[in-house]
Chains A and B, each alone.
Chain A
Amino acid sequence: EIVLTQSPTTIAASPGEKVTITCRASSSVSYMYWYQQKPGASPKPWIYDTSKLASGVPNRFSGSGSGTSYSLTINTMETEDAATYYCQQWSSTPPTFGGGTKLELK
């Protein structure tokens, strides 16, 4: 099973600040996927195929990476971006998720 390790676990950012969340895989994966989850809601697809934004996702978000290292970046933090973000791989079964990064507003 491929283990995904996210860092940091928690991060606080001010509006306008740049934020980067990292996801490291225990083995190489072909693509990484990211979800956003807010309290009381189900996860929403946020970035797919490593770098493509899901429908409705603002273009201040971007994704990049390859092999065992991937990242999600917010160019300029906005209030509505406060949430928990999870990475996910399905290059091999079972599909696995990272432990999540909680992004808080400073």
Chain B
Amino acid sequence: EVQLVESGGGLVQPGRSLKLSCAASGFTFSNYGMAWVRQTPTKGLEWVASISTGGGNTYYRDSVKGRFTISRDNAKNTQYLQMDSLRSEDTATYYCASFTSGYRRYFDYWGQGVMVTVSS
């Protein structure tokens, strides 16, 4: 059974940092592209960042470029999201997700989500 388990969320002050982790099991992690997707009641679902199977290619939404860093450790079956210079608008539930390869891409497995609250 595929499992993606996020951790590391919490309450953080604006301008501070937080690192999310996502532990994967039940599939060959190194064969899958991985992503972070966040959700808020007002903005809905937003793709945040994605990383290729080997970690050599990373992509970010414009609003987090230069502040967030996605990475992965295939030996540990884990991906990460380092979030620096956090803003109130980063407050959301963050989901770890795998995505299919090729040009027909979608998010095929999701974690349960972790809450990040940015507030003073």
A residues near B, CB below 8 A? 30-31, 33, 35, 42-45, 48-49, 86, 88, 90-91, 93-100
Whether B27 sits at the interface, judged by CB under 8 Å, is no
Give the distance to chain B from A89, nearest Cβ to Cβ, in Å. Answer: 9
Q: A48 with B59: in contact, given A42-B111, A42-B113, A97-B44 (CB under 8 Å)?
A: no
Q: A44 with B110: in contact, given A31-B104, A90-B105, A100-B44 (CB under 8 Å)?
A: yes
> Do B110 and A42 touch across chains, with their CB atoms under 8 A apart?
yes
B residues near A, CB below 8 A? 44-47, 59, 61, 95, 99, 103-108, 110-113
Q: Which residues of B contact A44 (CB under 8 A)?
A: 110
Q: Which residues of B contact A86 (CB under 8 A)?
A: 44-45
> Do A88 and B106 touch across chains, with their CB atoms under 8 A apart?
yes
> Do B106 and A96 touch across chains, with their CB atoms under 8 A apart?
no
Closest to B47 in A: A95
Q: Which 4 residue pairs are nearest across A and B when measured between Cβ atoms?
A: A97-B45, A33-B106, A42-B110, A90-B105
Q: List 30 A-B contacts (CB under 8 A).
A: A30-B103, A30-B104, A31-B104, A33-B106, A42-B95, A42-B111, A42-B112, A43-B45, A43-B110, A44-B110, A45-B106, A45-B108, A48-B108, A49-B104, A88-B106, A88-B107, A90-B99, A90-B105, A90-B106, A91-B103, A94-B47, A94-B59, A94-B61, A95-B47, A95-B105, A97-B44, A97-B47, A98-B44, A100-B44, A100-B45
* Residue among B44, B95, B103 with max Cβ neighbours from chain A (10 Å): B44
Give the distance to chain B from A50, nearest Cβ to Cβ, in Å. Answer: 9
Q: Which residues of A contact B106 (CB under 8 A)?
A: 33, 45, 48, 88, 90
Give the distance to chain A from B78, nearest Cβ to Cβ, in Å. Answer: 18
Q: Which residues of A contact B59 (CB under 8 A)?
A: 93-94
Give bound CA distance, A97 to B45, whole Å. 6
Q: Which residues of B contact A88 (CB under 8 A)?
A: 45, 106-107
Give bound CA distance, A94 to B59, whole Å. 9
Give bound CA distance, A96 to B43, whole Å. 12
Give the distance to chain B from A24, nearest Cβ to Cβ, in Å. Answer: 16
